[in-house]
Every structure is written in structure tokens, then in C-alpha cells.
């Protein structure tokens, strides 16, 4: 199933399409504290209520790859909100990506994401008891921080994102956690992944992590020249599909 979706996304890229099996992307804004959050909304067919998904981008920003991933999840039946933490800015160089990520206060990023969950929960086409999140790289770290901050989040998929270590933070996670990591990732080494998983299990929290021995950071991103691992990426994305279906679909 996942391989089929990857092929569809490649076809979509070649034709410049924004959605497959879902309605076209819609720019949206939502209240976020005393400011405004923003993102792109992708709707599945049918009136719902549907499960919903918050998609969190890498340090590059809300670029075409993240948009197509979001469209793919909508095609699978999720009301999908790809949150734009950079408010319209997208990096094409590592220097700018570093600047944008460093310039984003963590509390603001988490506030935008928790506000996105609240906004989705109030929609008539969303089942508020079945909202999850998925993120990559910086977005993976923010996705697990969202699980800490939002007790109603049901499931979170973390792809090579920084993991919390504080016991008090882990105790606040009520979502089931899936993680995909690279064994050659110097920023998030296997030891830290194992420590996180063991701490979660020690608290009785459901967690499933997998480490791909020959993969480094960002191995799922086809734009990662030299670091993309197609077979590992397909397996990781299939794990996410199965996980979200089991946790969020009735």
C-alpha cells in the first residue's frame, strides 16, 4: 500500500499536482495565543467525521515534499493540517534552514501546534478523539513536544526528531508513539533512542521505535542527495501508515 502511495506521489510531482484522492490544499489560519498560526489544509472525500493529522515540516519549512506527504495522508482519509511554523518562509540552503530553525522560539512552535490540534478538534468533519501528528527532523522533535503539551493527542509518529529525556515531560505523554531513526545519525544516536524507549516503557507508555542500521539523518527525504535510502524510507513510511490506521481509524 505504501509503495503504491509513493508511486502516486512521484506521479503527482511530475505533473505538479497538490492532492491525490483528496480535495486541493487550502491555506488556513487559526488563533494561536495572542498571535495567528497558519498552514495548509487537505481534506479527504466524504463528510466525516474523519480522523485528523497534524503534519510538521523539517527545518527546511513547508516545502513541496511535505505538501505531497500531507496530500497523501488526506488521500488515506485524514483531515490533514500541515502547519507552517515559519509563516511562509522556505529554505533552499542549509544556511537559511539553520537561521530559520534557530529563529523559531520553541514555545511559539509548540503553541502553534497545540492550537492546530484545538482548531482541528472543533471542526465538524473531524473526530476530536482521533487526532494524531507526524513530523520529520525538526518537525519530529516538535511532534513529540506536541504530544507532551497536548493530552488529547492520540498518536504521534516521530521521524529522526530530537527526543525528550525529562521524566516529568514523558509522564505527560498520553499518545501512542512510533519512531523511525537512522543508525548512522550523529545528531540522534541509537543510544538516545533506546534510552527514550526504555524510559517510556518504564512509565507504562506505549512506544515502538525502529532503528535502520545503514541510514543516517533524513533518510526518508528523497531530496536528501546521498542520504536518501529508498528501501528504508518505504519501510518507515509503511510503518507510519499502519500505525496511524490502527490508532486513529475506527
User: What is the rounded CA–CA span in Å between residue 19 and residue 13?
Assistant: 10
Span 104-149, pLDDT tens digits: 999 999 999 999 999 999 999 999 999 999 999 999 999 999 999 9
Rounded to two decimals, what is the model's pTM? 0.91
Give pLDDT, residue 21.
Answer: 53
3-state secondary structure of 161: coil
pLDDT at 13 over 90: no
Provide DSSP, 7-60.
Answer: HHHHHHHHHT-S-SSEEEEEEEEEEETTEEEEEEEEEESSS--EEEEEEE--TT
Could you tell me the pLDDT band of residue 250, with boundaries at 50, 70 and 90? confident
Q: Is 2-248 a domain of CATH 3.30.70.2740?
A: no
Give pLDDT, residue 24.
Answer: 77
Cα-based distances in Å from 131 to 54, 70, 81, 244: 8, 14, 11, 10
- What percentage of the chain exceeds 70 in pLDDT? 91
Query: Rounded mean pLDDT of 142-168?
Result: 97
Give pLDDT, residue 22.
Answer: 58
Span 173-230, pLDDT tens digits: 999 999 999 999 999 999 999 999 999 999 999 999 999 999 999 999 999 999 999 9
Domain ranges for the chain, please list them: 2-248
Q: State the chain's mean pLDDT as an integer.
A: 92
Q: Name, in order, each residue with C-beta under 8 angstroms of 111's C-beta and a sequence gap of 6 or more.
A: 32, 33, 37
Query: Rounded mean pLDDT of 74-94?
Result: 98
Give pLDDT, residue 218.
Answer: 98
Cα-based distances in Å from 25 to 41, 51, 67, 120, 163: 5, 17, 9, 15, 30
Amino acid at each position: 500500500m505504501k509503495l503504491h502511495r509513493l508511486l502516486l506521489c512521484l506521479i503527482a510531482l511530475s505533473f505538479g499536482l497538490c492532492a491525490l484522492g483528496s480535495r486541493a490544499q487550502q491555506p488556513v489560519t487559526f488563533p494561536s495565543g495572542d498571535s495567528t498560526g497558519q498552514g495548509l489544509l487537505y481534506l479527504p472525500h466524504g463528510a466525516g467525521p474523519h480522523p485528523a493529522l497534524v503534519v510538521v515540516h523539517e527545518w527546511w519549512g513547508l516545502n513541496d515534499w511535505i505538501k505531497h506527504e500531507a496530500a497523501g495522508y488526506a488521500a488515506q482519509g485524514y483531515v490533514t493540517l500541515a502547519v507552517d511554523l515559519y509563516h511562509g518562509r522556505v529554505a533552499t540552503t542549509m544556511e537559511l534552514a539553520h537561521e530559520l530553525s534557530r529563529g523559531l522560539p520553541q514555545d511559539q512552535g509548540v503553541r502553534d501546534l497545540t492550537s492546530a490540534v484545538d482548531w482541528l478538534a472543533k471542526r465538524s468533519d473531524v473526530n476530536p478523539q482521533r487526532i494524531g501528528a507526524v513530523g520529520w527532523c525538526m518537525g519530529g522533535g516538535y511532534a513529540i513536544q506536541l504530544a507532551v503539551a497536548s493530552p488529547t493527542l492520540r498518536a504521534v509518529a516521530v521521524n529522526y526528531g530530537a527526543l525528550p529525556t525529562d521524566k516529568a515531560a514523558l509522564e505527560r505523554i498520553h499518545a501512542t508513539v512510533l519512531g523511525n531513526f537512522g543508525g548512522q545519525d550523529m545528531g540522534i544516536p541509537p543510544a538516545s533512542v533506546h534510552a527514550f524507549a526504555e524510559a517510556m516503557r518504564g512509565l507504562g507508555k506505549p512506544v515502538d521505535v525502529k532503528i535502520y542500521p545503514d541510514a543516517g539523518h533524513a533518510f526518508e527525504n528523497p531530496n536528501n542527495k546521498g542520504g536518501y535510502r529508498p528501501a528504508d524510507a518505504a519501510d518507515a513510511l509503511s510503518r507510519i501508515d499502519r500505525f496511524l490506521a490502527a490508532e486513529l481509524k475506527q
